[in-house]
Amino acid sequence: MNKIAVFTSGGDAPGMNACVRAVVRTALYMGKEVVGIKRGYEGMIDGDFVSLDKRSVSGIIQQGGTFLQSARSKRFMTKEGRSLAAKHLKAEGIDGIVAIGGDGTFTGANVFTSEHEFAFVGLPGTIDNDLVGTDFTIGYDTAVNTAMAAIDNIKDTANAHNRIFFIEVMGKDAGFIALRSAIATGAEAVLVPEHTTNLDELVDQLVTNRTAKKSANIVIVAEGDDAGGAFDVSKYVQEKIPEADIRVTVLGHIQRGGRPTCMERVRASQMGIEAVKSLINGDTGVMIGLINQCVVKTPFSQAIKHHQKIKPALLEMVQILG
């Protein structure tokens, strides 16, 4: 293991830069060469490599996004694309690869390693926090704190005008951002993909709150909820409570950007160090995670087939506290 490559793939997430920095500096500390692959699997197919040294990753730990850039690659889904990627990796003399991404990234790595002899170690980089094998993914803590800050601001204006706000957060298949931000901001209700939504029950709750003269009602909606996004849900509620003053806010991609939190930077750095150690020790085809603050290695085949589940106790917290 003389030369290690690192890349970021899929949706960007705050903390990816901190993670790349840790991979680079750990590899250099252990006497290895490091190469960055630009634009994920797309860059691997194009041979878009850049040599990285200690200065290359200076001053990036506090930056969101990913300086290596990211992309979703349809070409890598073909055998021809993967063969071309393998050709470029061999020509560059790369022995091991650290892949920072989510489900799609690890699926690609799993197929690639079955066809070509390269050592892969994955790091969970996704704001959705939906991967099995780690308590928290890289990007989640920052995303949920960004959502919380925005919801706090919206709650001020909701109180001032006696409004019902439906706030849509990211989470196409997972409701972790919605759930924790709802608890943290004192939302009246939360709608997540993992739990079947009963809109009539929601309407009853909002009517009860209005009768009790509650000045502001905040409902957090994950974009992948079965009842639809925030606009669909608000339309239904408006029809049932026509006198209500209802507003909708979609937080969108502001949740992906921004400076990573302290915990994000520390967690990403720890995972990056462990990834390099694992490659040097001969591990491959595994995702590095942290469970109860202990390092855990989960095979790609398990990480991509199972998603972390919502804890019913957290859903109950919203109901009790809201």
pLDDT in tens, 250-280: 999 999 999 999 999 999 999 999 999 999 9
Quick one: pLDDT at residue 64?
A: 94
Name the one residue in this structure whose structure tokens are 């720890």: 270
Q: Are residues 9 and 135 in the same domain?
A: yes
Give a yes or no: residue 55 inside a domain. Answer: yes
What's the rounded mean pLDDT across residues 193-208? Answer: 91
pLDDT tens by residue, 156-195? 888 888 889 999 999 988 899 999 999 999 999 999 998 8
Quick one: pLDDT at residue 306?
A: 63
Q: Are residues 185 and 124 in the same domain?
A: no
Which residues does residue 79 pair with via DSSP β-bridges, in sequence order?
none
d(CA 319, CA 322) in angstroms, rounded, equals 5
pLDDT tens by residue, 120-151? 999 999 999 988 899 999 999 999 999 999 99
Q: Are residues 226 and 283 in the same domain?
A: no
d(CA 86, CA 91) in angstroms, rounded, equals 9
Q: Are residues 101 and 22 in the same domain?
A: yes
DSSP string, 87-141: HHHHHHT--EEEEEE-HHHHHHHHHHHHHS--EEEEEEB-TT--BTT-SS-BTHH
What is the phi/psi pair of residue 131, to 5°? -95, 135
Q: Which of 199, 231, 257 is the last residue of a domain?
A: 257
Q: Which two tokens stand for residue 124?
A: 């969970």
Quick one: pLDDT at residue 268?
A: 97
Q: Where are the beta strands (DSSP E) in the chain?
A: 3-8, 33-37, 49-51, 96-101, 119-124, 164-169, 189-191, 217-222, 246-250, 286-291, 294-299
Q: Which two tokens stand for residue 29?
A: 């500390």
Give a yes or no: residue 313 inside a domain. Answer: no
Give a yes or no: residue 103 inside a domain. Answer: yes
Catalytic residue among 46, 48, 95, 128: 128
Give a yes or no: residue 238 inside a domain. Answer: yes
Give a yes or no: residue 315 inside a domain. Answer: no
Quick one: pLDDT at residue 143?
A: 96
Q: Which of 199, 234, 257 is the last residue of a domain?
A: 257
Residues of the domain holding 273: 3-139+260-303
Q: Are residues 156 and 244 in the same domain?
A: yes
Q: Are 21 and 269 in contact (CB under 8 A)?
A: yes
Q: Are residues 155 and 200 in the same domain?
A: yes
Percent of the chain, pLDDT > 90? 77
Q: Is 128 a catalytic residue?
A: yes
Q: Are residues 86 and 204 in the same domain?
A: no
d(CA 122, CA 301) in angstroms, rounded, equals 12
Which residues does residue 100 pair with via DSSP β-bridges, in sequence order?
8, 123
Which residues does residue 167 pair with via DSSP β-bridges, in sequence order?
220, 249
Instruction: Give the domain CATH number at 180.
Output: 3.40.50.460
Of 169, 167, 141, 145, residue with least CA distance to 154: 167
Q: Are residues 181 and 244 in the same domain?
A: yes
Give a yes or no: residue 317 inside a domain. Answer: no
Instruction: Give the domain CATH number at 43.
Output: 3.40.50.450
Instruction: Please count the structural domains in the chain.
Output: 2
d(CA 216, CA 116) in angstroms, rounded, equals 57
Q: What is the mean pLDDT of the chain?
A: 92
Q: Are residues 180 and 221 in the same domain?
A: yes
Q: Are residues 119 and 9 in the same domain?
A: yes
Give a yes or no: residue 127 inside a domain. Answer: yes
* CA-to-CA separations, 199 to 92, 271, 309, in angstroms, rounded: 56, 41, 22
Which residues does residue 125 pair with via DSSP β-bridges, in sequence order?
138
Q: Which of 201, 227, 257 is the last residue of a domain?
A: 257
Of 59, 229, 264, residue with least CA distance to 143: 264
Q: Are residues 146 and 234 in the same domain?
A: yes
Give a yes or no: residue 99 inside a domain. Answer: yes
d(CA 132, CA 303) in angstroms, rounded, equals 5
What is the pLDDT confidence band of residue 310, given thresholds at 50, 70 and 90? confident
User: Does the pLDDT at position 214 exceed 70?
Assistant: yes
Q: Are residues 121 and 203 in the same domain?
A: no
d(CA 22, CA 24) in angstroms, rounded, equals 5
